[in-house]
Structure 1
Amino acid sequence: MIELKAGEARLGLLPEVGGAISFWRRGGMSFLHPVADPHLLAQRGRAVGGYPLLPFSNRIADGQFRFEGQDYQLEHNFAGEDNTIHGNGWERRWRLDLLSDDSATLELDHTPPADPVAQWPFSYRALLRFDLRECGLSIGMMIENTDTRDQPVGLGFHPYFPRHNGLRLGFSAESVWTNDDSHLPLLRVPAQGEWSFEKMRDVEDINIDNCYAGWSRSAFLRWPRLGMSLTLEASEIFSHLVLYTPRQQPFIAVEPVSNMNDAFNRPGVGDGGVHVLHPGEKLEGHVRMTVATC
């Protein structure tokens, strides 16, 4: 594990476990909740507080998609489902590129066929940069197409936040995708009524696993009994937000992502968020989380 320090703040990183965050805390407050998800086979039971999503976010139906006239089949990497999930960056060992007391940059090269083609059929290079401050954490992400062909990509980050002390959540969004029985997008509906977080809501009894579109790229979390709050801000490419609030679990996930769920199979959705990179092109995004006393 790599540990960064900034004043009383501490950040643990796990390069060998998909470039994941192990913990982020300051004093007695942990701002991320480590989760060992048995469905994510490549994490091998290791508890993580957050991890990168690349070269795509969320599910691809049956692990299949068609791009520029060719069909591709990805391996199933999520136990209990036939879908492929969250790309393969979280499945790989990252290497440390740069390190200081409060900053670290991790790097990953995926180069088929030396690296598993069924994880992802195109070559890419990715960077993750973590900058820790006393009152915040910034995460920079970059993916570069190192292949000789165009490739479709997406980016995202998957933080788990602790669901205790009356956690409340607020953000604005234009619409949300309902799901079918396979957890894939079904209908796009306005983010109103039970779907709306325009006014901050208690998330204790909410059960959501859906992708929002057209969100404001800022979300607000508050733990009123602790007198603590957190603001999450994301750069422009993160035009979607996946909200995961499984009932009776001690965490929620608020995931800024570039693409909607199953975007590679939804070419008719104009704002689906798939970015096509020509050889040598890059896609970059940033997520910033700032903490404060309420």
Structure 2
Amino acid sequence: MIELKKGNARLTLLPERGGAIGSWQSDQREIFYPCENENLAAQKGALIAGYPLFPYSNRIDQGRFSFGHRDYQLSPNMVGCPHAIHGNSWENPWKLSHKTDSHAILTFDFKPDNNEKSDPHWPFAYRATLVYQLFEKKLEISLVIENRDQIDQPVGFGFHPFIKCDPASTLSFKADNLWLMTEDGLPLELIENKDEWSFSKPNHFYERDFDHVYSGWEGDIILNRGDNNPSVMVKADPVFSHLVIFSPKESDFVAIEPVTMMTDAINHPEIVERGLHVLSPGKRMGGTISFEILENVQTSRRKKTT
């Protein structure tokens, strides 16, 4: 375990557990929500408060996809789920490359076994980098992926935090559309973001089962956690064009996940704005997400590009 400190803020990191966050506390209060997911066997029972998603986010249908005139088959990596989920970086140990009292850089180098393009977890070589920067009232996470293979590679990335909430909590954000999902978490239908799905004004979610992907997200979201807990504002760079909200009914956490891509993006070439990126050998891309502890905040909107 690695510990970062800044004033009354404390962050613990777990390089051996996929570069994950173990805990984020401010003034001895948990901001994130460390929890165990027995279905993610690779986390080996650790309490995880957030983890990176490389080289794709969410599910790939049955672990199958085609790219570059070749078919690939990935192994399912979540108990009870037939799909490949959240990439493979969370399943592997990361290396600590740099550390100060409040700053750490972790890296993960992946190369398919025997340099063959048939690895059951991912068929391309890549390097992922995580930069954690702790402030007294803010946590910044920068994510970078580099194609270290000899051929083009499809990529996406994001971050999966668990943020503490309660029955009084509300969310507020703007996005153009959202995906209705099948029972096993695959995209079914893209609809306009309105009515019961909209959080353009603060809206409660505690009594509902939520696991949806919003597209055309404007890049910020506020979690208001009631009078006794500080609000949390999440902001993300424009590369994170999609937002996943995951919160089981009456849960003590909500996962607010800025991601670059829709679920199963690699199998939906017909969707122009699916968020899949293709990197040529040696190229890299990245972006930064911030989680800020604020009281009585107003949401500032990111300008859209045309």
TM range (shorter): over 0.9
The 5 Å alignment of 1:1-294 reads: 1-113=1-113, 117-164=119-166, 166-294=168-296
Scaled by the length of structure 2, the TM-score of the pair is: 0.94
Per-residue CA deviation, residues 11-62 of structure 1 (Å, 9 max, x unaligned), is 0000000000000011132110012111112111111000000100000000
Counterpart CA distance in 2 for 1:192 and 1:255 is 20
Local SS of the residue matching 1:42: helix
> Number of aligned pairs?
294
Q: Give the deviation of 1:76 after TM superposition.
A: 0.6
Runs of 4+ in 1 over 4 A off after TM superposition: none
Q: Give the deviation of 1:182 after TM superposition.
A: 2.3
Per-residue CA deviation, residues 68-94 of structure 1 (Å, 9 max, x unaligned), is 110000011011011010000100100
The more displaced of 242-251 and 256-265 is 242-251
Q: Give the deviation of 1:204 after TM superposition.
A: 1.6
Q: Give the deviation of 1:228 after TM superposition.
A: 1.0
The more displaced of 80-89 and 202-211 is 202-211
Counterpart CA distance in 2 for 1:79 and 1:245 is 19
Per-residue CA deviation, residues 197-253 of structure 1 (Å, 9 max, x unaligned), is 001112221211011000111000112221511110000110000111101321110
Q: Is the 8 A contact 2:128 2:146 kept in 1?
A: yes
Counterpart CA distance in 2 for 1:48 and 1:123 is 26
Q: Give the deviation of 1:114 after TM superposition.
A: 5.1
Counterpart CA distance in 2 for 1:248 and 1:117 is 39
Per-residue CA deviation, residues 123-143 of structure 1 (Å, 9 max, x unaligned), is 001110000000100000000
Consecutive unaligned residues of structure 2, counting only runs of 5 or more, are 297-306
Q: Is the 8 A contact 1:155 1:285 kept in 2?
A: no
Q: Which amino acid aligns with 1:85?
A: I
Per-residue CA deviation, residues 245-270 of structure 1 (Å, 9 max, x unaligned), is 10132111010000100000000000
Counterpart CA distance in 1 for 2:229 and 2:27 is 14
Scaled by the length of structure 1, the TM-score of the pair is: 0.98
Local SS of the residue matching 2:113: coil
The more displaced of 107-116 and 55-64 is 107-116
Counterpart CA distance in 2 for 1:223 and 1:182 is 29
Q: Which amino acid aligns with 2:166?
A: H
Counterpart CA distance in 1 for 2:61 and 2:129 is 27
Consecutive unaligned residues of structure 1, counting only runs of 5 or more, are none
Counterpart CA distance in 1 for 2:36 and 2:114 is 29
Overall identity of the aligned pairs, in %: 41
Q: Is the 8 A contact 1:165 1:225 kept in 2?
A: no
Counterpart CA distance in 1 for 2:156 and 2:48 is 21
Q: Which amino acid aligns with 1:11?
A: L
Q: Which amino acid aligns with 1:31?
A: I
Counterpart CA distance in 2 for 1:109 and 1:64 is 23
